[in-house]
Amino acid sequence: MLVGTYEHIESTTDHTLEDHNMTVAFTAAKVSALDAVSCLTQDLSLLASGDWLGDDDGCEASLGMVERLNTYLGEHSFAQTPELEAAKQAVKCLGEDFALLASGDWEPDDDSCEASLTMVETLRTFINDTDTI
């Protein structure tokens, strides 16, 4: 009888530990994604103000943040919702914007920077509002 009880406790503990590990991994990914959103917000704000011209190193760093967001959206089992699709579209557009900036084919103006900042806010809202996978 004690062996059965021990096995039950062990299996319950394993399940709880697995859930805990998944929660910790998701939370870490969420924090990383929010950090990427903050970095992109800062980059786009600097672009809009004219305080950053989009040099190669900066564009590479921004593209790295976009890739981090793309990974976040792709590695977790989010429910298929319009909000998820909007977040995926925002990542795609931001990637295109920074790739064009890096190639010299995008001259950011106030309107285009504002549109990109709106996409970043779409991502921030999705990440903040999505607590479970």
- Chain segment 20-42, per-residue pLDDT in tens: 788 888 889 999 999 999 999 99
- Regarding predicted confidence, which is higher, 17 or 124? 124
Q: Is the separation of the CB atoms in 57 and 102 below 8 Å? A: no
**Distance separating alpha carbons of residues 74 and 88, to the nearest angstrom:** 9
Helix (H) or strand (E) segment spanning residue 73: helix 56-75
Say if residue 69's pLDDT is above 70.
Answer: yes
Phi, psi at residue 113, to the nearest 5°?
Answer: -65, -40
What pLDDT is attached to residue 132? 59
What pLDDT is attached to residue 85? 94
Would you state the structure tokens that stand for residue 118, as one six-digit string?
Answer: 């709106």
Q: Is the separation of the CB atoms in 68 and 91 below 8 Å? A: no
Check: pTM over 0.85? Answer yes or no.
Answer: no
